[in-house]
Chains A and B, each alone.
Chain A
Amino acid sequence: MERYYQEEIECASREEIKALQDERLVKQVKHVWDNVPYYRKKMEEKGVTPEDIKGTEDLHRLPFLSKADLRDAYPYGLLAVPLKDCVRIQSTSGTTGKRVVAFYTQEDIDLWEDCCARAIMAAGGTDEDVCQVSYGYGLFTGGPGLNGGSHKVGCLTIPTSSGNTERQIMFIQDLQATILCCTPSYAAYIGETMKEMGLTPDEIPLKAGIFGAEAWSEEMRRDIEQTLGIKAYDIYGLTELSGPGVSFECSAQQGMHINEDHFIAEIIDPDTEEVLPEGSQGELVFTAITKKAFPMMRYRTRDICVLTREQCSCGRTHVRMRKPKGRSDDMLIIRGVNVFPSQIETVLMNQGYAANYQIIIDRVNHTDTFDVQVEMTPEMFTDNMGEIAERQKALVEGMRSMLGISPKVSLVAPKSIARSEGKAVRVIDKRKI
């Protein structure tokens, strides 16, 4: 039976959702115009005033915000309430060198935690569950978000944060954790460690996992589900918009429901910036309509995906987004070709390898070098050198047909690629451009 945290809104009719969005958007535009000179200036440059925005159909008239704006306005330029009304900041990992600092009022945190609670209940969580939150706590939104959501559902919450994998496993076993929240790469690592300890899926009390904060493939999902004996749910979010819980998977696992009472989603053509009709692939853009402290307007996520409002079998009516292929931040351009690390992962898993790999790119004599290091596994090892060379060749061929360019594949010792307790480091780009 499907359970909802806030059924009345999660299963509201499309008309009700539209009416709510219209009302909240109008209010939010006024709030931002009055309190964020940075955005007001952008609106003025476009010749738009709050009076022009009467509902979601006028959304396209508003200017965009991008990561570059966040950098320009750092740290307070997009703040919409007095600092004394803020109770928290969270910040991005800064892996791309552009740290984002987001502010929250108490109400903002409350609504964010509601979104996470919806995700936990959609994964089957109730107040009878023991929920282990192995996302990092601290500036990263993963730990605090799911922690708050877990409290709201009434789960017994184990705030392990990430790291110390043996202790993670001890808690899962001793306290009979039923739900695990962490990044998919950390879930895979926990699974790998459990397997090494000789634990079979039947001996692991977990039944569900909520994994997000990085792109992961369907193959990786199946792998984690098998090793841990769970159902694995995807969760999506950005620090700029609150954190995890912007959208989440339900039991149908046919895309992630966007919490439309808080976020309006659009798909645009990333080049022309034109809004595309439902069902088209394009860049995901969000407008936060309830956040008070840090209200992102038409924020360009750089995530490429597709939206659908088709009725979902879980009963929720909120629009679903397909799993993004990967953050465009994750996207590499190698010899002019777009490469997502998740594509490499798909090839590895299809050929029976674990998703322990690293992509190393460099530029030698004006040409990109593209090396993929793959960890040798006992299953793939044989005493026959010719056979190993064949397998290496098969990996190169698999990647060539997936990407259109051929990497050099090296087989490296097991465990030689550093394991991650948060977001995995998949790419080392040594190019100086």
Chain B
Amino acid sequence: MALKQISVFLENKPGTLSEMTGALAAANIDMRALSLAETKDFGIARLIADDVYKASNALKDAGFVNSLTSVVGAMIPDEPGGLDKLLKIFHEANINLEYMYAFLGGDSVDHAYMIFRVGKEMEKEADAVLAAHGIRVLTQEDVNQI
């Protein structure tokens, strides 16, 4: 099961990001991971949260255009070569990554979590490949409990 990530359109001007976090704070949303991508004019904030739909609605009410995007989350050991091993698996399976970001957190001190965006048609395959290699794929429930 893929995770839902919230992608938020951000106009490039001072204060936009804090307005966004303000809206999330007011709705009592706990963010798990956050990544920012930017161009000269605008940015996209990508975030994983405990309650995706509530977060998306809170952002919409605050005037932020946002959409839900399917991403793949995986748990990897927090040690040298941990990510490398995972990326090799994707490489061998010929799965292309659009972007990825990482987060640590929760009670787990020896694991890191990776979020991947793979091409839409590759999502199922990515899940299967990871599972075949014994790598834990995150579900929304997992995210809620971290």
User: Measuring CB to CB, which residues of chain A are less than 8 angstroms from any residue of chain B?
Assistant: 376-378, 381-385, 388-389, 392, 410-416
B44 touches A411 (CB 8 A): no
In chain B, positions 31-53 with a C-beta closer than 8 Å to chain A are 37, 39, 41-42, 44, 46
Closest Cβ–Cβ distance, residue A31 to chain B (whole Å): 56
**With A385-B44, A413-B16 in contact, is A378–B65 under 8 Å at CB?**
yes
Which residue of chain B lies nearest to A375 when distances are taken between CB atoms in the complex? B65
User: Measuring CB to CB, which residues of chain B are less than 8 angstroms from any residue of chain A?
Assistant: 5, 7, 9-11, 16, 37, 39, 41-42, 44, 46, 63-67, 69, 98, 117
B11 touches A411 (CB 8 A): yes
Residues of chain A lying within 8 A (CB to CB) of residue B65: 376-378, 381, 413-414
Most-contacted residue by chain A among B11, B37, B66 (CB, 10 A)? B11
With A383-B67, A392-B41, A413-B10 already in contact, 20 other A-B pairs whose C-beta atoms are closer than 8 Å:
A376-B9, A376-B11, A376-B42, A376-B65, A378-B65, A381-B7, A381-B9, A381-B66, A383-B46, A383-B69, A384-B98, A411-B9, A411-B11, A413-B11, A413-B63, A413-B64, A413-B65, A414-B63, A415-B63, A416-B63
> Which of B39, B42, B67 is close to A378, meaning CB atoms less than 8 Å apart?
B67
B9 touches A385 (CB 8 A): no
Which residue of chain A lies nearest to B19 when distances are taken between CB atoms in the complex? A413
Which residue of chain B lies nearest to A416 when distances are taken between CB atoms in the complex? B11
Expressed in whole angstroms, the Cα–Cα distance for A385 and B5 within the complex equals 15
Which residue of chain B lies nearest to A379 when distances are taken between CB atoms in the complex? B65
Residues of chain B lying within 8 A (CB to CB) of residue A378: 65, 67
Q: Shortest 10 CB-CB distances between A and B: which pairs?
A: A383-B7, A413-B11, A383-B69, A381-B65, A412-B11, A376-B65, A415-B63, A376-B9, A410-B41, A381-B9
Task: Please list 21 pairs of residues, one from A and one from B, whose beta carbons are closer than 8 Å in the complex, sorted by A's number.
Answer: A376-B9, A376-B11, A377-B65, A381-B7, A381-B65, A381-B67, A383-B5, A383-B7, A383-B46, A383-B67, A384-B98, A385-B37, A410-B41, A411-B11, A411-B41, A412-B11, A413-B9, A413-B11, A413-B16, A415-B63, A416-B63
Closest Cβ–Cβ distance, residue A353 to chain B (whole Å): 12
Which residue of chain A lies nearest to B46 when distances are taken between CB atoms in the complex? A383
**With A383-B7, A413-B9 in contact, is A388–B42 under 8 Å at CB?**
yes
Expressed in whole angstroms, the Cα–Cα distance for A414 and B64 within the complex equals 7
Most-contacted residue by chain B among A378, A385, A410 (CB, 10 A)? A385
Number of A-B contacts (CB under 8 A): 48
Expressed in whole angstroms, the Cα–Cα distance for A415 and B62 within the complex equals 10
Residues of chain B lying within 8 A (CB to CB) of residue A381: 7, 9, 65-67
Expressed in whole angstroms, the Cα–Cα distance for A378 and B5 within the complex equals 16
Residues of chain B lying within 8 A (CB to CB) of residue A388: 42
Expressed in whole angstroms, the Cα–Cα distance for A413 and B67 within the complex equals 14
Residues of chain A lying within 8 A (CB to CB) of residue B39: 385, 389
Which residue of chain A lies nearest to B60 when distances are taken between CB atoms in the complex? A378
**With A411-B11, A412-B11, A413-B16 in contact, is A382–B63 under 8 Å at CB?**
no
Residues of chain B lying within 8 A (CB to CB) of residue A389: 39
Which residue of chain B lies nearest to A415 when distances are taken between CB atoms in the complex? B63
Which residue of chain B lies nearest to A410 when distances are taken between CB atoms in the complex? B41
Which residue of chain B lies nearest to A380 when distances are taken between CB atoms in the complex? B65
> Which of A382, A411, A415 is close to B42, meaning CB atoms less than 8 Å apart?
A411
Closest Cβ–Cβ distance, residue A81 to chain B (whole Å): 52
Residues of chain A lying within 8 A (CB to CB) of residue B37: 385
Expressed in whole angstroms, the Cα–Cα distance for A383 and B68 within the complex equals 8
Residues of chain B lying within 8 A (CB to CB) of residue A384: 98
Expressed in whole angstroms, the Cα–Cα distance for A418 and B41 within the complex equals 20
Residues of chain B lying within 8 A (CB to CB) of residue A412: 11
Closest Cβ–Cβ distance, residue A154 to chain B (whole Å): 42
Closest Cβ–Cβ distance, residue A66 to chain B (whole Å): 42
Expressed in whole angstroms, the Cα–Cα distance for A414 and B62 within the complex equals 10
Residues of chain A lying within 8 A (CB to CB) of residue B42: 376, 388, 410-411
**With A376-B65, A378-B65 in contact, is A383–B11 under 8 Å at CB?**
no
Expressed in whole angstroms, the Cα–Cα distance for A383 and B43 within the complex equals 10
Which residue of chain B lies nearest to A378 when distances are taken between CB atoms in the complex? B65
Closest Cβ–Cβ distance, residue B71 to chain A (whole Å): 9
Which residue of chain B lies nearest to A411 when distances are taken between CB atoms in the complex? B42
Expressed in whole angstroms, the Cα–Cα distance for A382 and B67 within the complex equals 7
Residues of chain A lying within 8 A (CB to CB) of residue B67: 378, 381-383
Expressed in whole angstroms, the Cα–Cα distance for A377 and B60 within the complex equals 11
Closest Cβ–Cβ distance, residue B16 to chain A (whole Å): 7
Expressed in whole angstroms, the Cα–Cα distance for A385 and B45 within the complex equals 11
Expressed in whole angstroms, the Cα–Cα distance for A412 and B12 within the complex equals 8
Closest Cβ–Cβ distance, residue B145 to chain A (whole Å): 25
Closest Cβ–Cβ distance, residue B66 to chain A (whole Å): 7
Expressed in whole angstroms, the Cα–Cα distance for A359 and B129 within the complex equals 51
Residues of chain B lying within 8 A (CB to CB) of residue A411: 9, 11, 41-42
Which residue of chain A lies nearest to B11 when distances are taken between CB atoms in the complex? A413
Which residue of chain B lies nearest to A388 when distances are taken between CB atoms in the complex? B42
Closest Cβ–Cβ distance, residue A195 to chain B (whole Å): 13
Expressed in whole angstroms, the Cα–Cα distance for A376 and B64 within the complex equals 9
Closest Cβ–Cβ distance, residue B107 to chain A (whole Å): 30
Residues of chain A lying within 8 A (CB to CB) of residue B5: 383
Residues of chain A lying within 8 A (CB to CB) of residue B9: 376, 381, 411, 413
Closest Cβ–Cβ distance, residue A385 to chain B (whole Å): 6
